[in-house]
């Protein structure tokens, strides 16, 4: 399991571009998918969705203050 329960990650859309932040809720080992709470841009409530592990990344600050995607 790459990510932990309650961890905030960045969800990538199907084109692997950042879609927004999500919170890890569960790991489905048999399918290598994570259940996450994700709030769609047109909604004010989070939805539990299941996504492949490769569509989740961590954000880390670079030395110059820019953000870089890591974890793929």
E strand intervals along the chain: 8-12, 18-28, 33-38, 47-52, 56-61, 67-70
pTM of the model: 0.78
Each domain of the chain, given as residue ranges in start order, spans: 8-70
Average pLDDT on 24-45 reads 95
Domain 8-70: CATH architecture, name and number where available: Roll (2.30)
Q: What is the pLDDT of residues 37-66, one digit of tens each?
A: 999 989 999 999 999 999 999 976 333 444
Rounded CA separation 48/11 (Å): 12
């Amino acid at each position: 399991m790459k990510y932990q329960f309650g961890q905030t990650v960045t969800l990538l859309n199907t084109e692997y571009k950042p879609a927004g932040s999500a919170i890890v809720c569960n790991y489905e080992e048999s399918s290598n998918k994570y259940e996450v709470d994700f709030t769609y841009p047109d909604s004010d409530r989070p939805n539990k969705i299941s996504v492949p592990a490769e569509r989740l990344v961590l954000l880390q600050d670079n030395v110059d203050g820019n953000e870089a995607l890591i974890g793929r």
